[in-house]
Amino acid sequence: MNRVFSGIQPTGNIHLGNYLGALRQFVELQETEECVYCIVDMHAITVPKPAEQLRESILDVAALYLAVGIDPEKSIVFVQSDVGSHAELSWILTCSSYTGELSRMTQYKQKSKNQESAPTGLFMYPVLMAADILLYDTNVVPVGDDQKQHIELTRDLAIRVNGKYGEDTFVVPEGRFMKSGARIMGLDDPTSKMSKSAENEYSRIQLLDAPSKIKKSVMRATTDNVGAINYDPENQPGITNLINIYSAFTDHDPQEIVAKYQGEGYGTFKKDLVEILTDNLAPIREKYEKIRHSDELTSILKDGAQRADAIAQKTMERVKKNFGLGIR
């Protein structure tokens, strides 16, 4: 059985990109693997926010994890800062990382906007992510395409440390990416990825959106003036993105969808997509409402933190021994 680890930041509302790129894999994998799913609150403070808001967002994301089908009987679900070893291992890895490789991370370059001085947390972000993964002797990391570079860095760090401190120090993990859904684009602009922080709320569909918002977002989605449903990422990126979403929810492959809508206009296709989305997201919203303010939610997270901590402690003992750290 493989160990699976992944995390999502408790910021804003989780959208279709997060669901199709990451969360859907989380649910699938728990049937066959040993899964650990984290709410990465320490990554969230790389961009400071009010304490009250962060605490609410942690619970929002935890409730969404459960609402999409993560089963706490099968998977460990916990909050990153509840397990102290994440920060501890992050420092140890920092000492094997280089400023050059960190400054080449695309996400860092985008977020720091190439300014000469940027928040150090943004710079160190991928090292903390590597610590998250390596702490659990992870074999597989299900994520969206945008995390590929961070996974590569994690592998590089693991291999480098193993070479210096002993091959048994870390398990070298692999990323796992979906065929359709690994990169869902903005509905208003199919050249940039769907994001939690884009200003235009109609650029994304959030898992908890009301049917009216889903409808508006899809009907307004940018297409083109070709006027035919084709799977053509280059020339018809807008409609192609919608086909990808359709495909991910129905398990029909893109070419089947294209064939089905031959001779139809964008309106008919979009109306059907609205129905598919509304039907699929309704049960998630219902389950979320039930669990979000329940005591069960906090007890699941506390129990998850204990189980995660037990695994983390073992890894830290081995790592500290290999590095010659500590005396206990």
Q: Give residues in contact with ligand AMP (CB under 6 A).
A: 8-9, 17-18, 21-22, 143-144, 146-147, 182-184, 193-194, 196
Residue 154 or residue 169: which is nearer to ligand AMP going by CB? 154
* Residue of 30, 39, 86, 35 whose CA lies nearest to 59: 39
Told to check if 9 binds ligand TRP by CB under 6 A, we report yes
Q: Which of 49, 148, 179, 196 is flagged as catalytic?
A: 196
Q: Which of 74, 109, 113, 193 is flagged as catalytic?
A: 193
CB atoms within 10 A of CB 296: 12
C-alpha 264/C-alpha 266 separation (Å) is: 7
Residue 64 or residue 141: which is nearer to ligand TRP going by CB? 141
Residue 90 or residue 217: which is nearer to ligand TRP going by CB? 90
| 196 in active site | yes
Residue 37 or residue 261: which is nearer to ligand AMP going by CB? 37
Instruction: Provide the minimum distance between the beta carbon of 302 and ligand AMP in the complex, in angstroms, as a whole number.
Output: 23
Instruction: Provide the minimum distance between the beta carbon of 17 and ligand AMP in the complex, in angstroms, as a whole number.
Output: 3
3-class DSSP assignment, residue 142: strand
Identify the bridge partners of residue 3 per DSSP, sorted by sequence position: 34
Looking at the chain, list the stretches that DSSP marks H as alpha helix, in order from N- to C-terminal side: 16-18, 24-29, 41-44, 51-67, 85-94, 99-103, 106-112, 120-134, 148-165, 211-220, 237-250, 254-260, 266-291, 295-323
From the list ligand AMP, ligand TRP, none, partner contacted by residue 129 (C-beta under 5 to 8 A by kind) = ligand TRP
The long-range contacts involving 97-106, CB below 8 angstroms and separated by at least 24 positions, are 97/127, 97/153, 97/157, 101/153, 101/156, 102/126, 102/127, 102/153, 105/149, 105/150, 105/153, 106/149
From the list ligand TRP, ligand AMP, none, partner contacted by residue 133 (C-beta under 5 to 8 A by kind) = ligand TRP
Q: How distant is the alpha carbon of residue 143 from its chain centre?
A: 5
106 is written with which tokens?
Answer: 């695309």
Instruction: Provide the minimum distance between the beta carbon of 89 and ligand TRP in the complex, in angstroms, as a whole number.
Output: 12
Q: Mark 131-150 with x for binding to ligand TRP (rule: CB under 6 A) and - for no binding.
A: -xx-------x-x---x--x
Task: Give the largest CA-CA distance in the chain.
Answer: 73
Told to check if 40 binds ligand TRP by CB under 6 A, we report yes
Residue 196 or residue 285: which is nearer to ligand TRP going by CB? 196
| 216 in active site | no
51 is written with which tokens?
Answer: 């304490």
List interacting residues with ligand TRP (CB under 6 A).
5-7, 9, 40, 43, 129, 132-133, 141, 143, 147, 150
Catalytic annotation, residues: 111, 193, 196
